[in-house]
Structure 1
Amino acid sequence: VLLLIPAKDNYAAMLAVGFLLGLGGTTFAIGIPLVNSWFPPAKRGLALGIFGMGMGGVALSGYFTPRIAEHDVNLPFWIVAGALLVYSLLAAVLITDHPDRKVPEDSLGHRLGQAGRLRVTWELSALYAIGFGGIVAFGVYLPTYLKTWYEMSPTEAGTKAAGFALVTVVFRPVGGWLSDRIHPALVTAAALLLAALMAVVQAFDPPLDPLGTIALLAMAAGLGTASGSVFALVSQVTPQAAVGSVTGIVGAMGGLGGFVPPLVMGAIYSAKSSYSIGFMLLSDLALAGAVYAYGRMRTLRRDG
């Protein structure tokens, strides 16, 4: 993180530092099988949902970083560096593998290759790209949308976008909790259907108070719930030995899925001066995910 301070004025250096930060982000893929190993199957959904609440850092960052930077442009980097240092020390002392964990003997490339050959890896990746990708996309683009379409100030737009992100964080463990009681594919289908319906509502450009706010927050609830249920689904339909590798691929695809919608919505707005087409495309995508989760994923069983 501290490398960002000298790199912030150099794009190539910024990309290199981003790569290093991305390596740190792989702790999410590490944490999924770790959490799985410590909890019985009936409680894994909720446990994974609570673990996934760590994405709330996006909301906190979006809200606090501009305000902290007003005091010193480098201060946010120092704060994050300190937080990472404290966490790394606590993790080294408190986090341990399950005593019965089997250490894989084959290479990383071989394990990733095996995971990549599983059809379920890419099915889960697509669903997570819709759910978590939608969260990432709105985290990036919602402030711009609110400023452009509803003529909000940057501070007000950032605050409301942070509220959207907070709702997704709260509903992620809800998705996991429901997945402990209902098949996670059914939870995913229902959550994506809710997101699809709310995207249709928002496509008609309703007034923000109250209908637009309700639609956006309900969409956040649906996307957050789907993000939690998809990883509960991973633990159910993925061979146990491949959970870690599959999680890594699925998580990466979710992150990548978040970068496409802002580009599409921005391009559509530039061409048509409207966001309605973008929201309708989001609705179509979420509806397709809901149908696929219900029609295909609820019938899958773990093989191995």
Structure 2
Amino acid sequence: MSTTTVERDPQLKGQLKNVIMATLASLIGFWGWTMIGPLAKSYYKEAFHLTPGQLSLLIAMPVIVGAVARIPVGAMTDRFGGRVMFTALLTLTAAMVLVVGLVGAFTTSFPLLLVVAFFLGIGGSIFAVGIPFAASWYEPHRKGLATGIFGMGMIGTAVAAFFNPRMLKAFGYFPTHVIIACIALSYAVIVWFVMKDSPKTAGRVPEPMMPKIMAATKKITTWQLCFIYAVVFGAFVAFSNYLPTYMGNVYNFEAVQAGTFAALFATCAVIARPFGGMAADKVGPRPVTIVMFLAIAALSVLIALQFESPAMYYTLFILMAIFIGFGTGTVFGWVGRATTPAETGTVGGLVSAAGGLGGYFPPLVMGAVYGANGHYFWAQIALMVAALVSLGISFAIRNGGKPKK
């Protein structure tokens, strides 16, 4: 179908508006999801007297729910639609941001903080809503573009890294959380009254959730995509959340400076993501994925050397961000091609859950490695090994060639 035909198709009217609205919803969800990381060293470390290991655990904790919840959330999106799910998750995100603010401001209980940080992860599950929602608005040979545009909502991590430390200084800890909770709740209302589900999903008979999940888990393609996405999106989540701590430990960045650098990293990754989706549409996801993992493996080794020159480490991290962002768009462009519209949400939920879980362990590993050795060399080498394994798996995944229109 040509671009002209798509534009004149009354069923697709409003496709860009609705995908952009979904992208903004994802931005806010990711902002809430990564509330803690940018404030970890500047607030939580001192307020709760945390060790490096405890700090890493706190940063990683929201990732668990943000990852695991994507599985039922993706399946529920197939059943209830994106408009309902976006509204519900933004409302829950607002509530949990406020609860985290209350616990962080008025208690000194680290176990309680871990519990509420765990449930803060609900914001990260919003990604599993947007993938089937965005894909349903576009024709098959442009699903990579659609999911790439939606994936730009990952910039919410950059928003958190850039604004949270500054808001902490300007307004204080608890008012910062109140402001962000109000933003999430306000946008939930806008979504409810303005957003629409794709007409392509109208009349679809909902299927029971668990059978769909079980059916998806029986496909080897699902697990292959889960693994490679766990590596590439896991790297994005890990760097976005842990980079302020990393730059503070290695290069003595203060909180605002480290947050700005983390925001730069996340922004570069987000900008690169739709180009990854478009590349998957044009030449096929396999060749793009292969180049991406080769680059990540090489950059991991160079970053592990911890060059002292600002020109070197800025360049290496920015290149890493670009290739990671490119890869996240490419892999989900692959998901859209490897599944039917009715199962995209379920498979996408599993794959995005794997990506979230991939982001849970690296901060723990980085904290443990730094605590034991005073550097991050072996943590970066672990990323290199994971990238090379993913490279091998990419050769085996089906439907990786140039797509047919």
- Residue 3 of structure 1: aligned partner: 99
Consecutive unaligned residues of structure 1, counting only runs of 5 or more, are none
In structure 1, C-alpha distance between the alignment counterparts of 2:123 and 2:310, rounded to whole Å: 40
* Counterpart residue number, 2:332: 231
Matching residue within 122, 126, 133 for 1:27: 126
CA contact (8 A) 1:146 1:157 kept: yes
Q: Following the alignment from structure 2 to structure 1, what is the Cα–Cα distance between the partners of residues 256 and 118?
A: 29
The one of 173, 185, 188 aligned to 1:73: 173
Instruction: Give the partner amino acid of 1:83.
Output: I
The CA deviation at 1:16 is 5.7
Cross-structure match for 1:154: 255
Residue identity opposite 1:91 in structure 2: V
Residue 276 of structure 1 is matched in structure 2 by: 377
Distance across 1 between alignment mates of 2:206 and 2:318: 46
Moved more, 42-51 or 221-230: 42-51
Kindly report which structure 2 residues correspond to 1:231-250, keeping only aligned pairs within 5 A, or say none: 231-250=332-351
Question: What CA deviation, in whole Å up to 9, does each residue of 1:2-56 have, x standing for no partner?
Answer: 3333333355655565565444543321221121111112222122111011111
Report what 1:199 is aligned to: 300
Once the two structures are superposed, residues 223-252 of structure 1 have per-residue CA deviations (whole angstroms, 9 ceiling, x without a partner) of: 111111111110111233211011111111
Shift of 1:58: 0.8
Work out the number of aligned pairs and report it. Answer: 301
Shift of 1:103: 3.0
CA gap of 1:177–1:88, structure 2 versus 1, over 3 A, is same
TM-score, length-scaled by structure 2 = 0.69
Among the aligned pairs, what percent are the same residue?
36
Q: How far apart are 1:299 and its partner, in Å?
A: 4.8
Match of 2:195 in 1: 95
> Equivalent of 1:136, from 237, 240, 261?
237
Check whether the contact 1:150–1:208 (CA below 8 A) recurs between aligned residues: no
1:104-129 deviation per Cα after TM superposition (whole angstroms, max 9, x unaligned): 43322222222222222221111111
Q: Match for residue 184 of structure 1? A: 285
- Rounded to whole Å, the distance in 2 between the matches of 1:200 and 1:29 is 32
Write the distance in 1 (CA, Å) between the matches of 2:223 and 2:205: 23
Instruction: Give TM-score, length-normalised by structure 1.
Output: 0.91
Give me the whole-angstrom Cα distance separating, in 2, the residues matched to 1:144 and 1:11: 19
Shift of 1:209: 2.1
Q: Residue 41 of structure 1 corresponds to which residue in structure 2?
A: 140
- Give the aligned partner of residue 59 of structure 1: 158
Q: 1:274 to 1:17 in 2, by over 3 A?
A: closer
RMSD in angstroms over aligned alpha carbons? 2.2
Unaligned runs of 5+ in 2: 1-96
